[in-house]
Amino acid sequence: MVKVELDRPWRFNKTDKKLFTVVPIFDLNTIPRACMPVREVKVKNLGIVLFRSGKVTIE
């Protein structure tokens, strides 16, 4: 189990716990596509009417 606490000044801290499973060793050399790079881009427009808005890009 991993416990994380996000320290936020001037606000209440956020705490979360997550369980995770450790899997056995797997040889990625047996999968030819495993060496290919992966890239994903997401763009979203944020804003409210009458206020400044703009694009947020995540790569």
Summarised one tens digit per residue, pLDDT across range 2-40 is: 888 888 888 888 899 999 898 899 888 898 888 888 888
What does pTM read for this prediction? 0.34
Please give the Cα distance from 31 to 26 (Å, whole number). Answer: 10
Q: How many CA atoms within 13 Å lie on the side-chain side of 10?
A: 0
Q: What b-and-e string marks burial along 39-56, b requiring 16 or more CB atoms within 10 Å of the CB?
A: eeeeeeeeeeeeeeeeee
